[in-house]
Copies of this chain bind each other. A is one copy, B any other.
Amino acid sequence: MRHPGIQFDYPSWVTRMLDWERRYESDEDKMRLAIAVARRNVLEDTGGPFGAAIFEQADGRLVSVGMNVVVPQNNCILHGEIVAFMMAQARLGSYRLAGPDMPAHELATSCDPCAMCLGATLWSGVRRVICGAQREDAEQMQFDEGPVFPESYAYLERRGIEFKKGVCRKEAADVLDLYVRRNGIVYNG
């Protein structure tokens, strides 16, 4: 059998879509980018209906985006948040988006993080998380979120991570609906 390594990059539409110089000021601005990435990922058939983006908190500078590429990459780990964390850390050359010489970072994610991504959020070093669609919206489409409990959020909050939920929820949930209407694979249902 082959023993291939792991290699992936952004889908090619990312470069065409993003203006890396733009500043994202409000939570809604940041969320609308995460949602736009999710929507584009569905429309281009490059993965699932979940998008994310990481920003410098102080000035709204975009550091990375992420999109769910589980099915095309044959890799159950590559949720939108995970790709955003990996890409940000590769760009900054640091396994933690925090530290004395680093500005504070925040994550916008088009849907409440699953158990894996919530754990990853703790290790990532981001200080704040803006969430769009809610767990119930994903579950309504048969996407499982895994073992996430109120105590899970409380654990991260005790570590200094702030959460803002339900930002542009309807717009974010609409992308889940779009995916299902296009007969997208709900692979963990």
Contacts and interface: CB of A to CB of B under 8 A. Distances in A.
Interface of A: 1-10, 20, 70-71, 73-77, 82, 85-87, 89-96, 114-120, 122-125, 144, 146-147, 149, 151-152, 155-156, 187-188
Going nearest first, the 6 A-B pairs with the smallest beta carbon separation are A116-B119, A115-B119, A5-B9, A147-B155, A147-B152, A76-B123
Number of this chain's copies in the assembly equals 2
A6 B7 contact: yes
A111 to B, nearest CB: 14
Contacts of A117: 116, 119
A77 B85 contact: yes
Contact of A115 (B86, B122, B144): B122
Nearest to A96: B76
Contacts of A155: 146-147
B115 A90 contact: no
Contact of A89 (B8, B74, B86, B152): B74
A77 B74 contact: no
A70 B90 contact: no
Most buried by B among A91, A93, A119, A124: A119
Given A74-B93, A76-B89, 19 more contacts: A4-B90, A6-B7, A6-B87, A70-B123, A74-B95, A76-B85, A76-B123, A77-B86, A77-B123, A95-B187, A96-B187, A114-B119, A115-B119, A117-B119, A118-B147, A122-B147, A123-B146, A146-B155, A147-B155
